[in-house]
Structure 1
Amino acid sequence: MHPGLVPGISIEELRYKFGLDKLVFGVNAVLIIAFVIWGVTSPDTVASFSSAALEWGLHNFGWLFNVILIVCVIVMIAIAFSQYGTIKLGKDDETPEYSLFSWVAMMFAAGIGVGIFFFGPSEPLAFYHSPPPLTVEPDTEQALHQALAQSNYHWGFSPWALYALVGGALAYSSYRRGRTTLMSSLFAPVLKRTDGPIGRIIDILAIVATLFGTAASLGIATLQIGEGISTFSGRTPSMPLLMGIILVLTVGFITSAVSGVSKGIRILSNTNITLTLLAILFVFLTGPTLFLTNLLPSGTLSYLDKFLDMSSRSLSWGPETLDFQAAWTAFYWAWWIAWAPFVGMFIARISRGRTIREFTLVTIIVPTALLILAFTVFGGTAITFARDGLPGFDGSASPQQVLFSMIDQLPFSGVTAALVVVILSIFFITSADSASVVMGTMASKGDPEPNKLLVAFWGVLMMGIAVVMLLTGGETALSGLQSLTILTAMPFSLVIVALMVSFIKDLTTDPVAIRTTYADTAVRDAVVRGLEEYGDDFEIAVERAPEGAGVGIVAGVDSTSEDLTEWYRRTDEHGDPVGYDYETGQWEDGWEPPTHSPDDAPGKA
């Protein structure tokens, strides 16, 4: 078949032999178990090591995080509006599996998690009292808008462009190119062998990043849930309480994970986004409604106006700015980078059948809009209470305390606080559930339905890392979460840089791109020739061109090049070539792809 006519290949149509990747699994298991033992037995040593390594890393490589996130936004917007935007994340005739609401709900649950409640009220309040260095005076109207702009910057376009890059590349690779669902598979355009040493290193780094990134989220959820339980009981949160919460929720999410990814996550995700939107609406209606109505457009425009200025902050702005970056921006960028393999793989599985343009724009814009709404409502309400001099909003409270202090000032505080704890618990379970399955897939050569014991194993290790992070931070548990997350994201950030190059190269050889190149060249040349020979009275027809004068030659396309044809040549389970008829869909040796029920299809999540 001509490379410009291939309709795409899904992963289910190929004959992969899945199974445990002993090298990837073994290296990760040994390293992470050793780390957890070290962290539990000597948290102070881990804390001092991570603190020193973090200082060195930020001083020398902090700029890299900024560059990566900025370039991600530029690259993904450019791809969306280019000729590649019409390419489907699937075969030419595939349609989306989920409604827009369910799609966005699952994306929201995977990519946002507990942060909307943990940081939603506390982060804008913190920036209002202590604005970023060299910006505005604290506790002023300017500080109010700077606070929202900075918060929106951390949670807006930048992280979602990163997720769109990884998720789009994974969906394209698996559902249009038919490759295994591994991070290493994304580098097929630039690596001769994705299962060689470099590919294995990429997969190992992806699992490490996912483990630490998700553990940080779960640690934050634990802190917030612990504060909620303490609010009901009247006791100060303690480390034994936090460990108990982790234990109970771990049992819950492992039960969910081993029962099958398609059986509960969609329902939980839809429930969570509905409850979250209701919580935002409740605070909006019972809080300073008129003030928030005015703040929403002004805060959003302040974010857009200050975007480039906030992106430019680095070591060159002085040591105070570097300290701010370490505490806030660098932590966020590292967190998003560490989460990228997990969130990317998850949204890839639920975005099958959508065009790259639709996928990119919705992935970047819709969650950003929801987060701007949430941070404006929660943060604006907290800042209003601070300006009114209410207790708990003077900047001395911890992030987890600010949320429940805000709820305490609103009607039905007891019911609302209980509802928030439920939402946080669901976020915890869905994030841990999904991440465990993703890591199981990455350790099983891309198996979309990994062994359930393997899934549970990664879940237990993830909980162990969360425990170490909390113990390492001690009284200020958040510091342990931040430093360890940044450290693990640094090596993986280099993978993200290489991925941008590989993804673009992949798209340039897509059948749609080939057809577009042919069409542009053929139509342009035909119109010129028609005008030259016939003036206004000509029409375009298709007929065989003289030998060596066809469109492919003129357009510079060699349709026999292995760069264009190698990817859709079929092989058997052992990698040996086997014939395949694209018109009939028949394999030469009679093999047929296994059938899947709607509930266990690999694309379901």
Structure 2
Amino acid sequence: MTQIGKVFWISLIISGVFVLWGVVAPENLESITSNIQSFLTSQFGWVYILSVAIFLLFSIYLMFSRYGKMRLGQDGDKPEYNKITWFAMLFSAGMGIGIIFWGAAEPLAHFAAPPNAEPESIEAAKFALRSSVFHWGLQTWSIYTVIALSVAYFKFRRGAPGLISSTFQPLIGDRTNGWIGNLIDITAVFATIFGVATSLGLGASQISGGLSYVTDIKNNFSTQLIIIVIVTILFMLSAWTGLSKGIKYLSNTNIILAILLLVLTIILGPTIFIFNTLVSTIGDYISALPSLSFHTAPFDENANDWIQDWTVFYWAWFIAWSPFVGTFIARVSKGRTIREFIFGVLFIPTIFCALWFVVFGGSSLFQELNGINTGLTELAKEKTLFGLFEGFPYGSVLTVVAILLISTFFITSADSATFVLGMQTTNGSLNPPNKIKMIWGIIQSATAAVLLTSGGLGALQTASIVSAFPFTFILLMMIVSLVKALKEDYQEQNE
């Protein structure tokens, strides 16, 4: 019998209250959450930057440490999924819609408004690509690595419930089953609900924007609502079939479509320029990584403001997403060694993200700098990718592939989130009941639809990011707890 306890009901009530607040007084919610977020980023931006640097250093240390050969499970356990499927599943949950939405849009945003370079110059273009790769590279994936590794280790090695609170057992003992554990899990559920609901709204906006860009379909709430309804039906059907069917097949489809779009863009775009830019950008990124990891620009107001608006915002956003992404990655990683896990979660996605941003961002910058398709920087973010394709031969084919990819990523993210929410609210069940997953699926989609119509998407996004501040300290303590457990188990194994 699956246990449904306080975490489920309290999370349900909190979600309802915030959605109601977003419907009744969206401007009030936007104002309050934005003020809190502005205060946190301006006063504690250094906490986010330092913490994420610690996550990366810890992940690299652990990969090469004596604990690297230890398995996420018992010594004889084998991985449930092959490497391609495993990577596809973790990548679909971890980045998905994000890289599609920002692949061309973010570099163009930095190109148009760099903090310390002339806008739309060669220097601005170099800065734009290096910054985009930095924001979606090792730092981001180190956040997911820490939480996913901890949850997987305690679940599969020590037999604890698949809850984030369970990772604190070495530090607080049985209090993980009390109010402290409940508070940790409720914080995680809160961030997941609103993080995913906002992304569903943004995904619907981008699909609608893409359709309106190439057809006569209007980009309005009615179109977005129809998209949400269709996607909801599809991801709930997928969620009903379980991990080994729905999410597995969708994730593999995502990777195929993503690689197809990537390859077509390289072939139809400025191919030689892309490869030259890729080599140059990777070199810039690697050489600048140590200083970028700790950069707060205290003596440069423009750069400091830019870091707060972009880097600190991203770190907070990814930390807010980490309970969902981390728990899902943990669930599909049983049987892998710690070294293999870290390499797969930290380095492989970083390489793919770097390639993605150079291909799409580099192509956008090439068109702008060479006067091929000017005005891309003026397009709405959700239309930037489709504007880029207008400058390509067979651009309409690329647009169709892109809309299909956004849709499959959309479905997979929502499907994965319903699974994680079901797992987190049923005492860590590895196979939460379909009725619980359906409840969370409906809540997510309804939240996205209601907030789109009330204009409260931005407020809820900010609200979920505010939850990242306390969760940052949860992640730091998770490292301490994991190290303590690893030492104990290693000594016991080698006695």
Interval of TM-score (by shorter of Structure 1 and Structure 2):
over 0.9
Contact between 1:224 and 1:400, CA under 8 Å: does it hold in 2? yes
Deviation (angstroms), 1:192: 2.2
Aligned partners of 2:448, 2:49: CA distance in 1, in Å?
Answer: 26
Give runs of aligned pairs for residues 575-586 of structure 1, distance below 5 A: none
Question: Please, which of 477, 490, 493 is the counterpart of residue 469 of structure 2?
Answer: 490
- SS of the equivalent of 1:90 reads coil
Give the structure 1 partner of residue 67 of structure 2.
84
Asked whether the equivalents of residues 196 and 417 of structure 2 are also in contact (C-alpha less than 8 Å), the reply is yes
Separation in structure 2 between the aligned mates of residue 481 and residue 36 of structure 1, nearest angstrom: 8
2:13 to 18, 30, 40: 30
Q: Does 1:69 align with 2:52?
A: yes
What letter is aligned with 1:19?
Q
Selected match of 2:402 from 405, 416, 420:
420
Q: Structure 2 CA distance, aligned partners of 1:241 and 1:506?
A: 51
TM-score (norm 1): 0.78
Show the counterpart of 1:364: 346
Q: CA offsets, 1:295-325, max 9 Å, x none?
A: 1111011111222332333372455344323
Q: Where do 5+ consecutive residues of structure 1 fail to align? A: 1-16, 519-605
Q: What's the CA shift for 1:488? A: 2.5
Superposed, 1:493-572 pairs within 5 Å as: 493-510=472-489, 512-516=490-494, 518=495
Distance of 1:455 and 1:166 partners within structure 2: 22
Q: Is the 8 A contact 1:109 1:272 kept in 2?
A: yes
Distance 2:198 2:454 in 1: 12
Q: Pick from 429, 442, 448: which aligns with 1:460? A: 442
What is the number of residues matched between the two proteins?
A: 494
**Aligned partner of 2:151 among 163, 170, 174:** 170
Q: Which moved more, 1:236-245 or 1:225-234?
A: 236-245
The equivalent residue for 2:306 is 324
Residue in structure 1 matched with residue 36 of structure 2 by the alignment: 53
Contact 2:210 2:403 in 1 (8 A): yes
**Cα separation, partners in 2 of 1:288 and 1:272, compared to 1, 3 Å:** same
Q: Could you tell me the percent identity over the aligned residues?
A: 37
| 1:263-342 → structure 2 map (5 Å cutoff) | 263-314=245-296, 316-342=298-324
1:346-366 Cα shifts (integer Å, max 9, x gaps):
111222111101110121110
Report the Cα offset of residue 206 of structure 1. 0.9
TM-fit CA distance, 1:46 = 1.6
Residues 362/284 of structure 1: CA separation in 2 closer, same or farther (3 Å cut): same
Query: Structure 1 residues 394, 225: closer, same or farther in 2, change over 3 A?
Result: closer
Aligned equivalents of 2:399, 2:278: Cα separation in 1: 24
Q: Which amino acid aligns with 1:76?
A: S
Distance, in Å, in 2 between the alignment partners of 1:337 and 1:496 is 9
Shift of 1:446: 1.1
Shift of 1:247: 2.4
| Residue 443 in structure 1 maps to residue 422 in structure 2 | no
Structure 1 distance, partners of 2:297, 2:21, is: 32
Output the CA distance in 2 between the equivalents of 1:429 and 1:361: 27
> Larger deviation: 492-501 or 246-255?
246-255
Could you tell me how far apart the structure 1 residues matched to 2:398 and 2:120 are? 28
Please name the residue that 2:163 is paired with. 182
**Which residue pairs with 1:153 in the alignment?**
134
- Of 415, 419, 433, the residue aligned with 1:433 is 415
Per-residue deviation, residues 176-213 of structure 1 (Å, max 9, x unmatched): 11111001110010012110111110110110111122
Look up the equivalent residue of 1:148 and give its one-letter code.
Answer: L
User: In structure 2, what is the equivalent of residue 43 of structure 1?
Assistant: 26
- Which fold has the larger relative contact order, with Cα–Cα distance below 8 Å and residues 6 or more apart in sequence? 2
Q: Is the 8 A contact 2:239 2:247 kept in 1?
A: no
Shift of 1:52: 1.6
- Residue pair 1:439, 1:458 contacting (<8 A) in 2 also: yes
Q: Which residue of 2 aligns with 1:192?
A: 173
- In the TM superposition, residue 394 of structure 1 has moved relative to its aligned partner by 4.7
Q: Partner of 1:354 in structure 2?
A: 336
Q: Which residue of 1 aligns with 2:89?
A: 106
Establish whether residue 405 from structure 1 lines up as the match of residue 387 from structure 2: yes
Which segment drifts farther, 245-254 or 229-238?
229-238
Q: What RMSD in Å do the two structures reach over aligned CA positions? A: 1.9
**In 2, distance between residues paired with 1:273 and 1:495?**
32
Decide whether the 8 Å contact of 1:63 with 1:315 is kept in 2. Answer: no
- The residue number in structure 1 matching 2:3 is 19
Equivalent residue for 1:97, pick from 60, 80, 94? 80
User: Is contact 2:278–2:355 with CA below 8 Å preserved after alignment?
Assistant: yes
Q: Report the alpha carbon displacement of residue 128 of structure 1 after superposing the two structures with TM.
A: 1.6
CA distance in 1, matches of 2:146, 2:24: 39
Letter aligned with residue 201 of structure 1: L
Counterpart in the other structure of 1:344: 326
Distance 1:320 1:247, change over 3 A: farther
Match of 1:262, SS state, is: helix
Q: Which residue of 1 aligns with 2:368?
A: 386
For the Cα contact (< 8 Å) 2:331–2:430, is it kept in 1?
A: no
Post-superposition CA distance 1:221-245 (Å, at most 9, x none): 1221111111233355223322332
| 2:274 match: secondary structure | helix
Distance 1:465 1:329 in 2: 27
Q: Report what 1:540 is aligned to.
A: none
Write out per-residue CA displacement over residues 328-358 of structure 1, whole angstroms, 9 at most, x where no aligned residue.
Answer: 2222212211221211121112221111011
CA 445–515 in structure 1, closer or farther in 2 if over 3 Å, else same: closer
1:579 aligned residue:
none
Judging changes above 3 Å, is the alpha-carbon distance between structure 1 residues 326 and 406 closer, same or farther for their aligned structure 2 residues?
same
8 Å CA contact retained: 1:86, 1:357: yes
Paired letter, 1:20: I
Give the conservation status (yes or no) of the 8 Å contact 1:51–1:483. Answer: yes
Among 216, 221, 241, the alignment partner of 1:239 is: 221
- Cα deviation, 1:523-557, whole Å, max 9, x if unaligned, reads xxxxxxxxxxxxxxxxxxxxxxxxxxxxxxxxxxx
Contact (CA 8 Å) 2:296, 2:304: kept in 1 or not?
yes
Among candidates 161, 177, 201, match of residue 183 of structure 2? 201
For 2:167 and 2:326, how far apart are their aligned partners in 1? 12
SS at structure 2 position matched to 1:189? helix
